[in-house]
Amino acid sequence: MDKKKLFFILSGVSILLSSCAQPVQQGQNPIAMLQQQYQYQQQEINEINRRLDSLDESLAKLRVKLGLSAYNNITKHLSEEQPPPINEIQEQPSNLSSLPAITPSKGIRHLSNTVTIINSTAPPQNTSNSSNLQSLISNTPKTPQELYGEAYKYYQSGHYRKAKRLFKEFILKYPHSKLTNNAYYWLGMSEKAMHHNNEALAILLSLINKCKKGELPSCDKAPSAYFSAANIYKEMGQKQMAVKLYKELISLYPDSIEAALARSELEIQ
């Protein structure tokens, strides 16, 4: 073979090989590209999750703030609900139907006679009704133990509105009693029983804050307040806030029953 032809053949082969090898050397590995895209997407997902957690926490704080607005001055606004009217307690006379009817033509003339008839035919039971009413009024709870016991009985019997009113009355009258923290707790649970979660959460957190600041003489209900508030957060979908309260409960009251329950809740998370 001619050397000139051999040179041209070798030159062509070398050019062909170099053109084929260049994309392999300069091009990026497809697997490496996929890995970079995956890492980038993971970073985006992590950032989105971080923002969602931040929004959840802000929403939780807003809900609590809205609930607290109704209870910031709880000891100053007791008149939110009036006590039941006296006519709900007083018995109605049973023999009114037996009284003589007043005819239209003689009604005005015989009005004084009718009053006389009513007074004369009224049985002595009216006097007993009056005395019964007076006894009910005189038996109204006066001591802290009596008022608290009355409120708690209403709560146990499912009369949550009455319980709410009496617990608030207790907080107003006895803000420095050893039972005040109990009144706060059951006031919150009364709201919870009526499905007022924001209000219940606000009261329970208010109790927790008062205990942290040492504003109450007794805080034996603080662990229960922590656990109940965390459960409300959990029901509202605020798991991050629930976990925070569970951990704080375990840290502050490690030997309490509520702390043991909180540990179980954290294991489920």
The pLDDT tens digits for 75-129 are 444 444 444 443 433 333 333 333 333 334 343 333 334 333 334 333 444 444 4
Blockwise average pLDDT, block size 10, the chain, 269 residues: 58 58 59 81 78 64 54 48 41 37 38 36 44 47 88 97 97 96 98 97 97 96 98 95 97 96 90
Q: Find out whether 149 and 186 touch, Cβ atoms under 8 Å.
A: no
All domains in the chain, ordered by first residue: 140-220 (1.25.40.10), 223-269 (no CATH)
Residue 206: exposure state from Cβ atoms within 10 A (0-12, 13-18, ≥19): buried
Quick check: 179 and 145 in contact, CB under 8 A? yes
- The alpha carbon torsion through 58, 196, 183, 173 (nearest 10 deg) reads 100
pTM: 0.55
CA angle, residues 57, 63, 68, in degrees to nearest 5: 125
Task: List the one residue out of 212, 208, 214, 211 whose CA is nearest residue 228.
Answer: 208
